[in-house]
Each structure stands twice: as C-alpha cells, then as structure tokens.
C-alpha cells in the first residue's frame, strides 16, 4: 500500500506500508543495530519516536514472547529499507508484520534509509508524519510542523507504571499497595537479599532481569513516588531507570532524587543518569541526532578500557556544569566526547548514559551491576 513520509523541513520519502492503512506521527530517529528489532520496538525510551533501521533487511527472524522490554510496542512507527515477510527462527512465534498490526503500529518499507539517516545526521532529528490516506506532500509537511517538539515533553509520566510491582523470577508481580503498603514490610526477603527500589521512568525488562540476577530484591515504583515513601520503605539502594523524552520537565522526580542524594546508594541509567545530573545542579541539552545502536565506543577512565555499549538517548548531561558539583567524570563517548558516566566524590552515587544490560548489544558493561552491589556493602 502506497504511503508517504514527510519531514518537518519539507523533505519527503515515498514508501509502502506493510501493515495496512493508517497514519503515524512522531520524531524520526535512526538505530544502527543489526539485530534486536523486537527489543527496540518495545523499549519505552522510544515513546513518541518513529525508528529508522539502518540495517537494510528486517523481519527475517520474526518475533517471540521472550524478547520484549515492556508490555507493549512503544515506537510510533517502524521505518525499513526492506521488510522480510518469510521469517525463520526456532524461537519465532509470529511475523513482524503481524506483531505490528496486532498493536496498531505502522510499518513502512521501500525507503532509502541511508538517505534518511544522512539527512538526520546533517539536519538533526525532526518531527514527521507517515500516511497512507493523505499523500499530498505540502499537507503532511504542515502536519509534521504541528507536532509538539520533543524538547520540553515529559514522556516519562506517559510510560511509567501506574502501580508499584515486584519483579520476581523474571516477571512483574503486581500487588495492591492498600494491602501491601510501601513501607519496610514490603520486602519479602529482607536480610537474605539486598533490597532495591527501582524508579520506573520507562524501565526495560532486561534491566530488571540483570538486577535480579545480581541478587537484589526489587520493588518498582511509579516515577511520581515521593522521597518520603522511599524513606518509609528503607531500601538498601535506589535505582533510576531509562526512559523517553526530555529530562528537564520531569521536575517532581528531580526534586525527589535531590532529597535522596545522601540517603542510600543510587545507580542511574540513561534518563536516570540525566535526572541525577539535574538533581546535582548540572544542565542537560538535546543532541543533534542522539545515540541509538549497539556499537557506541565509551572510554572508562577508571579502568583505562574502551567499552562497546548499547545506547538509546537524545539528550545528554553538560559536562562542564556537572564538574562544578564535586563529581568525578568516569566515562566519555569516543565518537563525540559527550558525557557517558560519573560518580560523586562524597556520596555513594554513580550513573551511566548507556545501557549496561545491553538488550540488544554487547555485555562489556555488566560489571556496573556488581559495582552497585558493592556500594551497598
């Protein structure tokens, strides 16, 4: 089915929908990963974004119920060079097209994804519309310009869990806070396992899998949870998750984190890293086209090693503004020298911009979960 992708700057790309009729809006970004499209689709950090895959052939191994990072597809649309409808893998249970159609997510193919990627690299990530119903370029470009800018959007509140839940044996276990209050009695394995409260700003399941694998008992709480509630729970550590959108509008969480800086060890990832930086008085800014893929080189100053990392973010913490706040810079990105990690010199606090759980991606940085455990000792 014929479709048209229109960017806010007026450039358009003819394409075909492989998921039927429809229209989608969002910010167009690109991901350089060769595999892991199902994890990308279900990563809450992609909320509000239409993802271009730079690898040309997508769909060949289908989808399955294990390789998900949340309870639903999070991307606004999926943009491919070539869709492969004949999937083949022993774990596959459905085709990519059926998966997208089932959740009413638009998928298009037949575009020059290299041209889109180069355009975004030159001009920056931008708003766009994809439609099968309206194929008039000028009309779609106008619609693209009416979409809210990503900067200034608090998307964390859109993807966070509405109710707290435990993560046990690789699965979320919901509970009623009225029957199981958020205080010290919430922990079922107190003493046997280190207890960790994980703030859900858009948390990926594999982060929770890795935390559980490290021996923690986990309670996941909504992004709006107050410092008083956390102190009533008296955890051994606090985890700040990944998530979508601009960190600055997530004001309540920033204030909560600031109140907890000297309370317990804190570990932040991605959006959690940015929120922790803001809580320490630093500034954040929007990157031109972001870092999205499984091959970003990061220098670890503490070990002297280079780690190949999985990343998905469009904002970054300003290094100079952070260094004024008794903070040690621990990691930088070797592609553009942006900040990738820091730790506080006084408080047991550290964070990284990338994804050490790496789903998909390399496992170079999984040692960070053990470092978090050591801080609690």
pLDDT bucket at 116, cuts 50 / 70 / 90:
very high
Which residue of the set 109, 212, 340, 357 is catalytic? 357
Q: Two tokens at 275? A: 């929120």
Q: Is the confidence at residue 141, as pLDDT, over 90?
A: yes
Which one of 3.40.50.2300, 3.30.70.270, 3.10.180.10, 3.50.30.20 gives the CATH number of domain 2-145? 3.50.30.20
Does the active-site annotation cover 313? no
pLDDT of residue 357: 92
Mean pLDDT of all residues in the chain? Answer: 96
pLDDT of residue 361: 85
Q: Range(s) for CATH 3.50.30.20 in the chain?
A: 2-145
Q: Are 246 and 154 in contact (CB under 8 A)?
A: yes
pLDDT of residue 178: 85
Q: Is the confidence at residue 312, as pLDDT, over 90?
A: yes
pLDDT bucket at 255, cuts 50 / 70 / 90:
very high
pLDDT in tens, 146-200: 999 999 999 999 999 999 999 999 999 999 888 889 999 999 998 899 999 999 9
Q: Is the confidence at residue 125, as pLDDT, over 80?
A: yes
Residue 181 to residues 155, 164, 236, Cα–Cα distance (Å): 27, 10, 18
Which residue of the set 119, 291, 313, 355 is catalytic? 355
Which residue of the set 8, 39, 248, 270 is catalytic? 270
pLDDT of residue 241: 98
Residue 2 to residues 53, 135, 199, Cα–Cα distance (Å): 20, 8, 42
pLDDT of residue 169: 93
The mean per-residue pLDDT over the stretch 30-47 comes to 96
Q: Is the confidence at residue 8, as pLDDT, over 90?
A: yes
pLDDT of residue 359: 83
Q: Is the confidence at residue 324, as pLDDT, over 80?
A: no
- 148: Cβ contacts below 8 Å, ≥ 6 apart: none
pLDDT of residue 377: 87
Q: Which residue has the higher pLDDT, 250 or 363?
A: 250
Residue with tokens 């940085």: 365
pLDDT in tens, 64-93: 999 999 999 999 999 999 999 999 999 999
pLDDT bucket at 96, cuts 50 / 70 / 90:
very high
pTM above 0.75, yes or no: yes
* Cα angle 358-192-214, degrees, rounded to a multiple of 5: 10
pLDDT of residue 363: 87
The mean per-residue pLDDT over the stretch 309-324 comes to 92
pLDDT bucket at 358, cuts 50 / 70 / 90:
confident
pLDDT bucket at 248, cuts 50 / 70 / 90:
very high
Does the active-site annotation cover 363? no
**C-alpha of 273 from chain center:** 12
**C-alpha of 9 from chain center:** 26
Q: Range(s) for CATH 3.40.50.880 in the chain?
A: 156-376
pLDDT of residue 244: 97
- H-only helix segments in the chain: 37-41, 96-102, 113-123, 137-145, 156-159, 205-213, 227-233, 251-259, 271-279, 319-323, 367-376
Q: Two tokens at 230? A: 């956390």
Does the active-site annotation cover 357? yes
Q: Is 319 helix (H, G, I), strand (E, B) or coil?
A: helix
Q: What CATH code would you report for 156-376?
A: 3.40.50.880
pLDDT of residue 83: 98
């Amino acid at each position: 089915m014929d479709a048209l992708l229109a960017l806010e700057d007026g450039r358009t790309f003819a394409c075909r929908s492989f998921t039927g009729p429809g229209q989608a809006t969002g910010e167009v970004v690109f991901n350089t990963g060769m595999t892991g499209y199902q994890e990308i689709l279900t990563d809450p950090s992609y909320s509000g974004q239409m993802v271009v895959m730079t690898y040309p052939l997508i769909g060949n191994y289908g989808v399955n119920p294990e390789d998900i990072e949340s309870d639903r597809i999070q991307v606004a649309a999926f943009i491919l060079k070539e869709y492969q409808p004949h999937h083949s893998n022993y774990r596959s249970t459905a085709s990519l097209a059926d998966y997208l159609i089932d959740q009413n997510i638009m998928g298009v193919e037949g575009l020059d994804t290299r041209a889109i990627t180069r355009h975004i690299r030159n001009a920056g990530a931008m708003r766009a519309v994809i439609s099968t119903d309206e194929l008039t370029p000028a009309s779609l470009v106008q619609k693209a310009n009416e979409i809210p800018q990503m900067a200034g959007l608090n998307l964390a509140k859109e993807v966070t869990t509405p109710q707290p839940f435990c993560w046990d044996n690789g699965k979320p276990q919901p509970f009623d806070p009225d029957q199981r209050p958020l205080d010290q009695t919430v922990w079922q394995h107190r003493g046997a396992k280190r207890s960790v409260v994980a703030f859900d700003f858009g948390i990926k399941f594999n982060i929770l899998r890795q935390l559980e694998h490290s021996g923690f008992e986990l309670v996941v709480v909504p992004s709006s949870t107050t410092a008083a509630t956390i102190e009533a729970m008296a955890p051994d550590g606090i985890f700040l998750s990944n998530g979508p959108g601009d960190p600055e509008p997530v004001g309540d969480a920033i204030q909560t984190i600031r109140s907890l800086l000297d309370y317990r060890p804190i570990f932040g990832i991605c959006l959690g890293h940015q929120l922790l930086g803001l809580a320490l008085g630093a500034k954040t800014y929007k990157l031109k086209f972001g870092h999205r893929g499984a091959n970003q080189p990061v220098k670890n100053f503490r070990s002297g090693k280079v780690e190949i990392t999985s990343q998905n973010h469009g904002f970054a913490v300003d290094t100079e503004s952070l260094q004024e706040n008794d903070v040690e810079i621990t990691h930088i990105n070797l592609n553009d020298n942006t900040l990738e990690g820091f730790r506080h010199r006084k408080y047991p606090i550290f964070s990284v911009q990338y994804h050490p759980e790496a789903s998909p991606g390399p496992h170079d940085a999984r040692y960070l979960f053990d470092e978090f455990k050591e801080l609690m000792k």
